[in-house]
Chains A and B, each alone.
Chain A
Amino acid sequence: MNILELAAQNLISPAILFFVLGLSAAFARSDLSVPEAVAKGLSLYLLLAIGFKGGVSVSAHGVDAGLILTIIAGVVLSFLLPLIAFALLRVMSTLSVIDAAAVAAHYGSISIVTFVAASSVLTTAGIAFEGYMVAVAAAMEAPAILSALWLVARAGGGRSDEAVDSGLMREILLNGSIVLLVGAFAIGVITGEQGMAKIEAFIVAPFLGILCLFLLDMGLVAGRGLRQTRGLLRPGLILFGVVMPLSGATLGMAAALLIGLSTGGVMLMMVLAASASYIAVPAAMRVALPEANPAVYLTLALGVTFPFNLVLGIPIYLALAQTVTGGS
């Protein structure tokens, strides 16, 4: 299947169409909304399900050196990507050092929703992937924040005295998403197939439907964000929001090939390296770099890169992963 066929198939999947519905409703100023508590519940469900399924997969196949190597590669990528993003931003935009570093931090970290959507595409297509990619996702959340703060310190911007205190590190490493993802992964490893058999009806069957509802909400959020910040993102920044995920995906692909991951694993590593955080990193940036403009990094990550990855990026990464690994 070529890239165009994959893209067309992806575009007419229910998940993407619900995302587009949310986006369209927000642009049309509809009062459609998903209550805050429901959206929170949906994200908890998705994290629990994806973490648990990953753990069960590792339990079935056992822990090998690939897990350690992939986590190390993910952490190195997360440290490295902000440096590339920062250099690109300094060339492609007029952002200040602090704003550019804050945006760069988002692109070194990951979007767990993009990861969930990509893994559901793989599952639907019947392409296997390493279950431990969930743990890699969790490991890639935080390092980028440190790289961004180093970039600011090097340029003499901001104030380093309160940038990274122990409270902030605790909040980053123990944020609810990471705790649930890693916790569900560990429970999946411990309970294995027997555990899955007991909660399969909750974890597997409703997954795609709940993902659709969550992506409807994400579409609404992205659309409203773009509407409220209309004119804030210059063409150079919007271009960055597309170029950076493609650059990250290329590096992710190289790292995954070096480790020898499967087709699904290569694709997920590309997705992790291509995606931008909009949950953990924005909160960390508000504490550590309050001078940075949140409208810039949130709109770019959520309004440009997230839709790009979801609609076009995922089929592109899958087609490339199939091409380079020879997988189907």
Chain B
Amino acid sequence: MQTHKAKRVEITIEAVMEQRLTAALERAEVTGFTVLPVMGGSGRSGRWSREGQVTRAAGMVVVVCIIRPERLDALLEAAFGLLERHIGVVCVTDCEVLRANRF
């Protein structure tokens, strides 16, 4: 089956920053993304778990975008401008999609 090259950008970010990030993505004309909850993890700020968090401040989410390769720089600039000072991880991988016109 015919597939098309695309980029998958996975941004792990604090839950309180989710709306700011998705708004920045939309301003950069990235209108397709998926937001996933994160159960827990460990990083430079120590170990944490979603279980028993009394506030959204300590939670994390993952925002996943699949875009055409030529739109990657605009997305990364929009994301970096917002996330520079915050806890999080931005990861870019190559992927393939079936319907290129959707991205």
Contact = CB atoms under 8 A, between A and B. Distances in A.
Interface in B54-82: 54-58
A21 interface: no
B16 interface: yes
Contacts of B57: 282-283, 285-286, 294, 298
A278 B57 CA distance: 9
A221 B16 contact: no
A279 B87 contact: no
Contact of A221 (B45, B46, B53): B53
Contact of A33 (B47, B48, B51): B51
Given A159-B85, A294-B45, A287 B55 contact: no
Given A228-B46, A294-B45, A220 B58 contact: no
A139 B90 CA distance: 38
Given A221-B52, A298-B55, A283 B16 contact: yes
Contacts of A285: 57
B17 A286 contact: yes
A183 interface: no
Classify chain A's interface size.
Answer: 20 to 34
Nearest to A282: B57
Interface string B70-103: 0000000000000001110000000000000000
Classify chain B's interface size.
Answer: 20 to 34
A228 B85 CA distance: 24
A298 B55 CA distance: 9
B46 A220 contact: no
Contacts of A278: 54-55
B20 interface: yes
A220 B52 CA distance: 7
Kindly name the residue among B20, B54, B58 whose own CB sees the greatest number of chain A CB atoms within 10 A. Answer: B54
Interface in A270-297: 278-279, 282-283, 285-287, 290-291, 293-295
A282 B51 contact: no
A228 B51 contact: no
Contacts of B16: 283, 286-287
B58 A290 contact: no
Contact of A36 (B19, B45, B46, B50): B50
Interface of B: 14, 16-17, 19-20, 45-58, 85-87
Given A282-B57, A294-B45, A298-B58, 10 more contacts: A34-B52, A36-B53, A167-B19, A224-B52, A228-B47, A278-B54, A286-B57, A287-B17, A298-B55, A298-B57
Interface of A: 33-34, 36, 39, 159, 167, 217-218, 220-221, 224, 228-229, 278-279, 282-283, 285-287, 290-291, 293-295, 298, 302
